[in-house]
Amino acid sequence: MLKMLSKMAMCKSHGQDSSYFIGWQEYEKNPYDPIQNPSGIIQMGLAENQVLVSFMAEIRRKKVKFDPKNLVLTAGSTSANETLIFCLAEPGEALLIPTPYYPGFDRDLKWRTGAEIVPIHCYSSNNFRITESALEEAYEQAQKLNLTVKGVFITNPSNPLGTTMSHDELNILITFAMAKNIHIVSDEIYAGTVFDSPKFISIMEALIDRKLEKSKMWNQVHIVSSLSKDLGLPGFRIGMIYSNNETLIAAATKMSSFGLISSQTQYLLSKILGDRKFIKRYIKENKKQLIHRREMLASGLANSGIKCLESNAGLFCFIDMRDLLKSNTFEAEMELWKKIISDVGLNVSPGSSCHCSEPVCIVLFSLYSILRKQPSLVNVYFGAKIAQVRSRQQDAFCFDRFVPSPSWILKAWETSDDEIYASGGLDAVVFVRLIVFSFRILSIAAIVCNFLVLPLNYFGKEMQRHQVPAETLEAFTIVNVEEGSRWLWAHCFALYLVSCCACFLLYLEYRSITRMRLAYFTSSVSNPSYFTVLVRAIPWSREESYSGTVTRFFSNFYASSFLSHQIVYRSGSVQKLVTDAGKMCKILKLTPRELHIGSHSMRCGLCGTTSSFNVLPMDEEGDKGRSDFGGADLRKKECAAALVFFRNRYAALVASQSLQSRNPMTWVTNLSPEPGDMYWSNICVPYRLLWIRKIAILVASMALVAFFVAPVSLTQGLVHLDKLQRTFPFLKGVLKRKGMSQLATGYLPSVVLIIFMYMVPPIMLLFSTLEGSISRSGRKRSASIKVLCFLIWNVFFGNILSGSVIERFSKIFKDVTYLLATAVPSTATFFMTYVLTSGWASLSIELMQPFGLLRNLFYRFILRNNDVTTYGTYTFPYHTEVPRILLFGLFGFVYSTLCPLILPFLLVYFSLAYLVYRNQILNVYVTKYETGGTYWPIVHNTTIFSMVLMQVIAMAVFGLKKSTVASSFVIPLIILTLLFNEYCRQRFQPLFKHIPAQILIEMDRQDEQDGKMKDIHEKLKLAYTQFKCKSRTLGDPMPPDHNNCRLEDLELKPGKSPVHLSA
């Protein structure tokens, strides 16, 4: 068990058994009090600690009560910190500290104690917040350095950031410390300098909120405090240690003898703190002055073009001077720092001195190629940035713009998961974790199979050997192993090893992403979808409108929890007209146009023809007294769907999962998607038609698969050169030329297949739309499943079985395993080439963004629109990229023991994919909606399918090679894999289908305690808006004034315009 305190703290040779110290101990047992204990012992040497604990409680809003017995005074906080480290750690043991941190800690905590500091790397992408992953990485780093971690040391409020830690951060920290059985030291010397929200939360308050007063953790949390900053008394050197650990307090009391506070200072201090009125006035005035000075400094920096981190406490301003750096290096930062000191005469602390992971807070996104350096293409390669800030284009010629630069690779490599989460959401993190998982398991497979299986494959038969480069690929596959060979046991062992490692890594990833999803729920406190239920199939009534029916139904059956509702309208034509008007307005306002007098259309910049945007004449007099979109029209446009708002999250959850009526086809309820995720047009689709649509889409999908038999057969015809020459005799002369044979059989099949495959994702996205998905993210997720099934069947099984299907169609269903056993190894060449062409080439296309380039040229030279902010942005194409990554993962599993040579090519692909996709998430794509990580069950199920397929094919190959024992040993592995899948399905999958009621109830209780429910209810009224109206909130049962709402007053919710290419 980890020894909690140091030898020094437990040492008995401290000399405190003298009468001098015994007197102190007797006083502590029987202190004098004029009323409660008039016969007690009077302390003549020290001031009372009571005034100090009262002051500590005062600046913590009296959320925490401090016991004077647990307080030790030291000569300043520096002495307090060093004393604590002496008590907690032995020389060579370590503390974890979040970055950036106070540079003096390298001296105060390490110099005389001999302790080590391991940084917890925090990043500017989330304002340097502590995360669970950052804590785990720091702990693992300490273990790699053979350091025993004794605790986590934090400063709250932070020096140098000037920010306070959130309740979630403190909870993460406490949970981590409890799991590792380590201490927490909270340096709270700036607690009295908090001048703005959010409020300061002490580590002790977080413990009390979690009701941990009687836990072991209660004695492992220690606070350092001081009056130097809170009262502006730096020269008085008054520090304090507070801990509930009696042993530590006893040891710290003994050590404080080497740094005592003078009696005169203690006396003066007791007088200052005893004046309650003065203290309250001082705290109030201090807060006022801090706000004023901070605003003055921040505004002055802003006027100079220098941004700073938003702070709410302390005496610091953490500034961003990235525009002044010559390069993205710490050396450039130090060069800038020296210039500021020497030329400006101002001393500032560089970020590197605070162990900041990024030079001067923010790391520049480096340009990776010549195209990225062109200002005219900024919308193509930095669409995510264009969506946040308006670009400033500088078209001045610069030679550096035409010099390739690979620095974007370094940036993509250094980017943390927290930055990916901040930029692309949880779905982006899940996608990156998919790539990381694939790389890890295929790395293990490559090491095992290439060093164990590959030599056995090569020397499996007695044959004439050539030089290795001259050998055919078949010589390195399992086909080259003799029948009945004992070496097949090595293949069986490799199969078990790869499968077990895959299950282990898959479990770790599933567990980690499940935790991220739970954190995603708790972090979405203000998510209106938690309060909102989408109701479809509302029964029609002659007597009342849909709105009245909804009100009557929910007021009757959910009287205590029903808040309000909003009807959904059929507004396709209205949306199109308003969207076109908005696009036209942007174009006219931002770019010069030729408008012909008397014409109501816009001229195209290339050919002079008119565009599809109609310019409506402004006839103010004709509009008087006319209602274009009145209440009667609204009632006619009502559809049998509504958004119903509840007073709390739990009530909405219960309503969404309950059967509302005796007829399951009416009053159908689901939790509503987020406002930006609503697919309004599908919500109006009659619910009774959805099952027909789904059947039709299933038939259409099967027809699409059948249609693609033709290109698949064509590609396989190109693989078999002899068949190709017999079919097309005129090609014999061409194919005999040098290199043409390799081109025809190697690259052309993959190129042909890739060309046809580009048609599939848009078609599948259309199918998912027609199915009736109520959310954009759900539509994309459904499309990804369809594309994945299509790729597995057509690319993998289609290419393996196509020749056999044509020749042996009548026997295919009778002898599937035999076909797999013979066809899979023989098609290894094709799939290796497919990885090179489809895999590596797709990454190049992803980087170059050819569609974005063409779109940029169209806007710039045909529409003559030079404002890049009107070109539109893109969301991440999960429906194409997730299936592609999973397909390559399937290749890796299936061929790992059969043809291990494919694995290095796949590893190169996943390495490049890791860099490319991280770069694209950061710079190109905009996150408008997400599924909350629900892509991972797709990843898990596909991985299990790939593993079982790998095992079935290996079992068939072992049987074909007449190794019945090895083949039989695969059966238990298949069973164990399926059992593992069932465990994960029961353990994790429900959390990806439903939101835990426990989380929603806790959030409801917290909001009720904080008095936030009323504000949330008010915001719900405006959260879901099909289109905005200046005079009323569209969605009310009836408009307040029918004549005051006109069509030109309507404005679509941002993000729903076709100018934004959100799939």
* pLDDT tens digit sequence for 256-283: 777 677 666 777 777 777 777 887 787 7
The H or E element spanning position 184 is strand 183-187
Residue 748 lies in a domain: yes
Scanning 188-321, the segments in alpha helix (DSSP H) are 203-209, 246-255, 263-274, 276-303
In a domain, 1061, yes or no: no
Which has the closest alpha carbon to 167: 225, 206, 219? 206
Higher pLDDT, 401 or 760: 760
Q: How far apart are CA 470 and CA 1043, in angstroms?
A: 84
With respect to residue 606, please indicate whether it lies within any of the assigned structural domains.
Answer: yes
357 and 121 Cβ atoms separated by less than 8 Å: yes
| Given 59, 85, 102, 774, the catalytic residue | 102
Domains of the chain: total: 3
Least confident window among 140-154, 623-637, 1003-1017: 623-637
- For residue 686, give the amino acid letter: P
d(CA 677, CA 663): 29
In the prediction, which pLDDT does 549 show? 92
Residue 361, phi-psi category: left (phi > 0), alpha (psi -120 to 50), beta (remainder): left
Report the predicted TM-score, pTM, of the whole model to 2 decimal places: 0.58
Secondary structure (3-state) at 646: strand
As a whole number, mean pLDDT of residues 644-673 equals 93
Q: Domain holding 96: CATH number? A: 3.40.640.10
Q: Which of 495-499, 709-713, 756-760, 1041-1045 has the lowest mean pLDDT?
A: 1041-1045
Q: Which tokens in the block code for residue 565?
A: 């509702």
Stretch among 320-329, 553-562, 962-971 having the lowest mean pLDDT: 320-329
Residue 975 confidence (pLDDT): 95
Residue 217, both tokens: 């953790």
- pLDDT above 90 for 609: no
Whether the pLDDT of residue 829 is over 80: the answer is no
Helices (H), 93-245: 105-108, 132-144, 167-180, 203-209
- Are residue 658 and residue 715 in the same domain, yes or no? no
Is the model's pLDDT at 556 over the cut of 90? Answer: yes
What average pLDDT does the segment 883-893 reach?
93
pLDDT digits (tens, 9 = 90+) for 79-130: 888 888 888 888 888 899 998 887 778 777 877 888 888 888 887 667 778 8
Question: Which entry of 108, 187, 417, 1007 is annotated as an active-site residue?
Answer: 187
Q: Is residue 20 part of a domain?
A: no
- Alpha-carbon distance of 221 to 66, in angstroms, equals 13
- What pLDDT does residue 797 have? 80
pLDDT of residue 328: 56
Give the confidence band of 386 by pLDDT, cuts at 50, 70, 90.
Answer: very low
834 is an active site residue: no
Confidence of residue 599 (pLDDT cuts 50, 70, 90): very low
Q: Are residues 782 and 865 in the same domain?
A: yes
Q: Which residues pair with 119 in a beta bridge?
A: 97
Q: Which of 526-540, 698-712, 938-952 has the lowest mean pLDDT?
A: 698-712
Same domain, 665 and 773: no
pLDDT in tens, 943-982: 999 999 999 988 888 888 888 888 889 999 999 999 999 9
1006, pLDDT greater than 80: yes
Pair (514, 561) in one structural domain: no
Q: Do 541 and 511 fall within a single domain?
A: no
Quickly tell me which residue has 């910190």 as its tokens. Answer: 81
Distance CA 221, CA 203 (A): 8
Residue 441 has pLDDT above 80, yes or no: yes
DSSP string, 24-59: HHHHHHSB-BTTTBTTSBPP-SS--SHHHHHHHHHH
Is residue 367 packed enough to be buried (19+ CB in 10 Å), middle (13-18) or exposed (0-12)? Answer: buried
Give me the DSSP letters along 123-154: -GGGTT---HHHHHHHHHHHHHTT--EEEEEE
CA distance 608 to 332: 52
The reported pLDDT for the residue numbered 713 is 60
* Average pLDDT of span 66-85: 84
Task: Tell me the β-bridge partners of 826.
Answer: none
What are residue 535's DSSP bridge partners?
642, 669
Whether 368 is covered by a domain: the verdict is no
Overall average pLDDT of the 619-641 stretch: 55
- The predicted model gives 459-485 an average pLDDT of 64
102 is catalytic: yes
Q: Greater confidence, 79 or 844? A: 79
Highest-confidence range of 64-78, 567-581, 974-988, by mean pLDDT? 974-988
The answer on pLDDT for 1005 being more than 90 is: yes
**Among candidate residues 281, 305, 340, the one where a domain is terminated:** 281
Query: Is pLDDT of 586 > 70?
Result: no
Of 152-161, 306-315, 418-427, 594-603, least confident by mean pLDDT is 594-603
Backbone region of residue 435 per phi and psi (left: phi > 0; alpha: psi in -120 to 50; beta: other values):
alpha
Q: Do 640 and 748 belong to one domain? A: no
Which two structure tokens, joined as six digits, stand for 456?
């056995």
Between these two residues, 1036 and 635, which has the higher pLDDT value? Answer: 635
Q: Is the model more confident about 730 or about 593? A: 730
Q: Which residues contact 321 (CB under 8 A, 6 or more apart)?
A: 306, 336, 360, 361
Choosing from 281, 298, 313, the residue where a domain stops is 281
Is 212 found in the same domain as 88?
Answer: yes
For residues 14-39, average pLDDT: 59
Assess whether 818 and 956 both reside in one domain: yes
**Residue 68: closest CA among 56, 58, 79:** 56
Does 814 score more than 60 pLDDT?
no
247 SS3 class: helix
- The confidence band for 19, taking pLDDT boundaries of 50, 70 and 90, is very low
* pLDDT in the model for residue 581: 57
Q: Write down the pLDDT at residue 559.
A: 92
Instruction: Work out the average pLDDT over 400-422.
Output: 74
What range defines the domain where residue 549 resides?
Answer: 535-673+1034-1052
- How far is Cα 838 from Cα 847, in angstroms, rounded to an integer? 14
- By the 8 A CB rule, do 749 and 760 touch? no
Q: Which residue has the higher pLDDT, 1057 or 815?
A: 815
What whole-number percentage of the chain has pLDDT above 70?
A: 67
Q: What is the mean pLDDT of residues 528-534?
A: 93
Lowest mean pLDDT among 120-124, 178-182, 497-501, 930-934: 120-124
Residue 458: C-alpha distances to residues 490, 806, 895, 1019 (Å):
13, 32, 15, 69
Average pLDDT, the chain: 75
- 325 vs 208: CA distance, rounded Å: 46
Give the tens place of pLDDT for each residue, 193-221: 787 777 888 888 888 888 888 888 989 99
Indicate the DSSP class of residue 756: H
Contact indicator for 224, 241 with CB cutoff of 8 Å: yes
Residues 803 and 899 in one domain: yes
Q: Is 187 a residue of the active site? A: yes
Q: Are 195 and 312 in contact (CB under 8 A)?
A: yes
| Residue 388 within any structural domain of the chain | no
Residues 739 and 857 in one domain: yes
- Mark whether 865 and 956 lie in a shared domain: yes
Residue among 123, 190, 229, 587 flagged as catalytic: 229
Selected catalytic residue, list 184, 189, 885, 953:
189
Domain boundary among 222, 248, 281: 281
Q: 889 vs 38, which has greater pLDDT?
A: 889
Question: Token digits for 535?
Answer: 């109701």
Terminal Cα distance for the chain, rounded: 55
> Does some domain include residue 986?
yes
The answer to whether residue 411 is catalytic is no
Q: Is residue 753 part of a domain?
A: yes
Question: How far, rounded to the nearest angstrom, does the alpha carbon of residue 843 sit from its chain's CA centroid?
Answer: 22
Confidence of residue 991 (pLDDT cuts 50, 70, 90): very high
CB contact set of 272 (below 8 Å; sequence gap of 6+)? 231, 278, 279
Where does the pLDDT of residue 597 fall: very low under 50, low under 70, confident under 90, or very high at 90 and above? very low
Nearest CA to 124 out of 279, 309, 381, 370 is that of: 309
Highest mean predicted confidence (pLDDT) among 40-44, 459-463, 922-926: 922-926
CB atoms closer than 10 angstroms to residue 145: 10
The answer to whether residues 600 and 472 belong to one domain is no
